[in-house]
Structure 1
Amino acid sequence: MALTTLLELLERLDEAHIQMLNLAASKKQSIMDNKVDALIEILNRESKFMKLIGQLEEQRAQAAYAFLQGVGIRSNLQLNLSELSRLVFDPDDKSRLLHIQQKLSGTLQQLKAANELNQKLIEQSLTFIDYSLDLLVGRPNQEITYHHPSDKGSSAKRPGLFDARG
């Protein structure tokens, strides 16, 4: 009974991570299209999935503990799925557990790669924005040598983007 619950929770975790993977693909497109509103909506949806994944993870830990108690292990060991599979003796259940482990592992690897790509795209976008602002406003011509603070004429300051005198 506890193993069935654990397997169901692992499958639900995989489904939630697949949804996160789909959101990562949407996020990538929003970043490339510079659609900030769509990106904010995706981030809100991701936040909801992260809460769900946190809850599922807590339930998974409880189900793993219940399974361990069911096979006679009274301590709260933090076993990974490979170690846990050694305690499953039914071939069908063991096969199902190992299958969901491989599936979840693959999904998590894809999600990690998608998140790393999105992070790089965001960094490139920020670099481009900074470069664009420098072109628009101009780079400050700061000299490396020391100037006395009372010598205001020799320090060239970067002009502001907006005129505050309005």
Structure 2
Amino acid sequence: MPDINDLIDVLNGEMLLYKDLLDISTKKTDVIIHGKIQELDNMTKIEGNIICRLSKLEEEREKILSGYDDTGEITISELCKMLPEDDAKKLKKIQKEFESILKALNDRNGLNKSLLQQSIEFVNYSLSIISNNLVEDNGIYGDNGSVKHVSSIIDRKA
């Protein structure tokens, strides 16, 4: 049987990375509200790096868990039943903290998704108004100052 402390170390490492993701998601909300596209792009790149690191830790976790169960699909709750009480308490504490972080991350990502959707709808609405006004007013001039007739100058889907 593998050393439970190895699993605890991996889980704590994953938890720190999920906390980083939650911190970034929280900052993203402000960035989305203020329309700071470049900062949003940078944050997304940072998230990608964190996710790569999480993937490596996840592989480690699965490898450790395969020592307890041939399928490697044993849950923390099931593992706690197999362990001494002290080790089970440590794992249960980590499990509760994980649940809290993941719920907060899910909630924040839902908010950010909603804000982004509203931003896209606003951009599409604005483009529609601009495009319709230009077409109705024939408001685009040609080379010699004459008015060009335009059917559409903007792709209406952002």
Quickly name the TM-score band, shorter chain normalised: 0.7 to 0.9
Tell me the amino acid that sits aligned with residue 73 of structure 2. Q
Match of 2:111 in 1: 117
Give the deviation of 1:77 after TM superposition. 4.0
TM-score normalised over the length of structure 1: 0.78
TM-score (norm 2): 0.82
CA RMSD, aligned part only?
2.1
The ranges of structure 1 where at least 4 consecutive aligned residues each deviate by more than 2 angstroms after the TM superposition are 156-159
Q: SS where residue 10 of structure 2 aligns?
A: helix
Number of the residue aligned with 1:81: 76
Per the alignment, residue 160 of structure 1 pairs with 153
Does residue 100 of structure 2 align to residue 106 of structure 1? yes
User: What letter corresponds to residue 159 of structure 1 in structure 2?
Assistant: S
Residues 104-130 of structure 1: per-residue CA shift (max 9 Å, x gap): 111111111111111111110000000
Partner of 1:34: 35
Q: How many residues align?
A: 141
What are the Cα deviations for residues 44-85 of structure 1, in whole angstroms up to 9, with x where unaligned? 00000000111111101111122x1xxxx5x22411111111
Give runs of aligned pairs for residues 48-87 of structure 1, distance below 5 A: 48-66=49-67, 68=68, 75-87=70-82
Structure with the larger RCO, 1 or 2 (CA within 8 Å, 6+ apart): 1
Q: CA deviation at 1:157?
A: 7.3
Q: Percent identity?
A: 23
Contact 1:2–1:64 under 8 Å retained in 2: no
Could you tell me which runs of 5 or more consecutive residues in structure 1 were left unpaired when the two chains were aligned: 142-155
Q: Where in structure 2 are there 5+ consecutive unaligned residues?
A: 137-148
